[in-house]
Amino acid sequence: MRPTVLVVDDERLFRVLAEEALSSEGFEVRTASTLQRARIEIDKATPDVMILDRRLPDGDGIDMLRELNSQGQSASLVIVVTAYGDVENAVEALRAGAVDYLTKPLQVTDLIVKLRKVLEARGLRDRLALAASSSDAQRPLVAPKSPASLNVFTQLERVSQSPLTPVFLVGPSGAGKQHAAELLHRMTFPAFTGDGAPFVEVNCAALPAHLVESELFGHERGAFTDAKTMRRGLIEMADGGTLFLDEITELPEPSQAKLLKFLDSMRFRRLGGQREIEVSLRIVAATNRDLKTLDNSRFREDLYHRLAVFLVNIPSLADRKEDISELAKGFVSYFAGRVKKRITGINAEALEALCGYNFPGNVRELRNIIERAMILTSGPEIEARDIILPELGELRGKGKSKGEDSFFSMALGADGVPPPAEVVERAYVARVLEHFHGKRVVAAQALGISYPTFLKRLRELGFANDS
């Protein structure tokens, strides 16, 4: 995708030289000789960077910058150019919202260096924001051991050699489709992971129908009533990396058509925009639905065929039990820094109990069981008595008797003292969430509290966003 630059200067020679030099460096350049013309260009499509002269025939560039910022309309990075190289002018430009400034006479090479610097800084901020929005960004990847997982690993390794090929992941809920997408991203961009190649996740089911296109493709200022500034979409933010479309079959039909058109050319327009934007990225789609039973009226067959260039089936955890031990150990390491205890591992009896369970909730259920065990254990490692499995009840020696239908129970601590109220509450909430397969709205109703109050309490209890 070529960054766009708007050069606003009343000197025709400078505009011509800047346009020629920046175009040769891969920038898409537009020019304006007055503030009025600049506003027209901004209304057409907000540029990535604006080179703004101070002294223009119809006013001061700083005044326009202040005006755009006060109205919430400036989404560009602005470099102010001034003939006055004093500190006072520089401070005034930065206070008005400029990211940098240059003084005349101006060397084009200096301008190019400044442009690349501010664009690189924006890219870093975007990557940090994306990393912060993903609660599992640092989840460890576990080496596969089962034949089923090794087969998936081999397929991902092969398709990683073709960075633009769409990949469709199909498997039951909680089986690790996001994990597979992250692994493919790391295989595809080994030299850039965490440094330059973005991994952008989109849960299609969670996007409000009226905002789907704006979220994916972005919008220009004024595209709709609340569009007060230009906003780059998730597709644009994933340029050069991977866009993971989870629960793709829940995407509204009108958005499916637009996505299909984008996939054919890798070009799109922001909502309300006139300029076509080209990107280079890999699309990874995922679903937990049986594709054979999907109604064509809900998910377009042509979109399926376009996405399923490389189809990978992710097996359930019950079909790859050889992986349970390593996954459990990985989650213990992952949660070790999130609980106020020193826990070194999980013992053999606890692992044996886990390996004997079928895990209808797949890897997500294993994760929740390990997190709960980390809270319940009173020793340096997780033991069998800390493992609570829905089908088996508590594995605590003094668990429920045969025939007893117990939903939740907790044993005394090793010192014979009842656990603190907050520990009990957290374990009970975890059990309720597990019972309702992670559906928080249903869990809140069952607990007799409002959904917002439930979410607030979950945060207070330290639950991860996707627990």
Is 141 part of a structural domain of the chain?
Answer: no
Q: Is 323 contained in some domain?
A: yes
196 and 182 Cβ atoms separated by less than 8 Å = no
376 and 257 in a single domain? The answer is: no
Residues 429-451 pLDDT 10s: 888 888 888 788 888 888 888 88
**25 has a pLDDT exceeding 90:** no
Of 230-244, 296-310, 319-333, the range with the lowest mean pLDDT is 296-310
| pLDDT at position 228 over 50 | yes
- Of 315, 334, 361, which marks where a domain is finished? 315
Question: CA-CA distance, 64 to 71, in Å (whole number)?
Answer: 11
**Tens digits of residue pLDDT in 148-177:** 998 999 999 999 999 999 999 999 998 999
Calculate the average pLDDT of the chain.
81
Same domain flag for 253 and 372: no
Please, which pLDDT band fits residue 134 given cuts at 50, 70 and 90? very low
- Same domain? For 255 and 277 the reply is yes
Give the pLDDT confidence score for residue 322 in this predicted structure.
92
Q: Is 136 inside any structural domain? A: no
465 assigned to some structural domain: no
Range of the domain at 273: 147-315
- Residue 239 sits at φ, ψ, to 5 deg, of -55, 130
Q: Is the per-residue pLDDT at 312 higher than 90?
A: yes
> In this structure, how many other beta carbons lie within 10 angstroms of the beta carbon of residue 134?
16
Are residues 168 and 264 both part of a single domain?
A: yes
CATH number at residue 359: 1.10.8.60
pTM: 0.61
Task: Give yes or no: residues 331 and 278 share one domain.
Answer: no
- Say yes or no: 328 and 455 in one domain: yes
* Residue 299 shares a structural domain with residue 271: yes
What per-residue confidence (pLDDT) applies to 261? 93
Shared domain check, 311 and 221? yes
CATH (domain of 29): 3.40.50.2300
Output b/e per residue, 385-419; b: 16+ Cβ within 10 A: bbbbbeeebbbbeeeeeeeeeeeebbeeeeeeeeb
Confidence of residue 194 (pLDDT cuts 50, 70, 90): very low
Which residue, among 69, 61, 159, 77, has the nearest Cα to 117 in the 3D structure?
77
- Has residue 395 got a pLDDT over 80? no
Indicate whether 211 and 294 sit together in one domain.
yes
Q: Is there a single domain that holds both residue 250 and residue 373?
A: no
Q: Considering the domain boundaries, does residue 139 fall inside one? A: no
Q: How many domains does the chain have?
A: 3
User: Is position 263 within any domain?
Assistant: yes
Tell which of 272, 296, 315 closes a domain.
315
Q: Which of 23-37, 104-118, 301-315, 391-405 shows the lowest mean pLDDT across its residues?
A: 391-405
Please check whether residue 466 lies inside any domain of the structure: no
Question: Looking at 285, 315, 345, which one is the last position of a domain?
Answer: 315
Tokens of 96: 């008005």
Same domain, 299 and 328: no
| Gap between the Cα atoms of 65 and 94, Å rounded | 10
Among 68-82, 192-206, 266-280, 394-408, the minimum mean pLDDT is found in: 394-408
One domain, residues 126 and 180: no
Least confident of 38-52, 144-158, 246-260: 38-52
